[in-house]
Amino acid sequence: PRQPAKTLWYDRPRYVFLEFCVEDSTDVRVDIGDQRLVFSCKNADGVEFYNEINLYARVNSKDSREKCSDRSITCFMRKWKEKVAWPRITKENIKPAWLSVDFDNWRDWEGDEEVERAMVEQYAEV
């Protein structure tokens, strides 16, 4: 049986970030469309994870990527309308139990664009 992965998200001026917290993931599939994201993988124990998110607003799927580490899979999606804050990541105004805000990375946007650019460049190099 599939289960949703615990997911953290945070908002930036140009991108929204999603982190799927699965350790030692295999068979990772991330399908980013303009208005939805589908994620699936397995962990070391063979448990299948599956998350589907209808996105709050449109993203540029061509300028969106993911990066896998041994602890999680991070996706960053380029917003179609930059510098517009997303109050939530989901289109529906309900918060799934598996989804929460990544408060460690949730910051005021003031002077944040350079930080954001550095993060994206760092991901892009991997």
Q: What is the average pLDDT across 51-74?
A: 96
Indicate whether 105 pLDDT > 70: yes
Mean pLDDT over 106-125 rounds to 74
3-state SS, 51-95, equals EEEEECCCEEEEEEEEEECCCCEEEEEEECCCCCCCCCCECCCCC
H or E element in which residue 118 lies: helix 113-125
The predicted pLDDT at position 34 comes to 96
Residue type, 3: Q
Q: In this structure, what DSSP letter does residue 5 have?
A: P
Tell whether the model's pLDDT for residue 83 goes beyond 80: yes
Cβ atoms of residues 18 and 90 within 8 Å: no
Class (C level, CATH) for 7-125: mainly beta
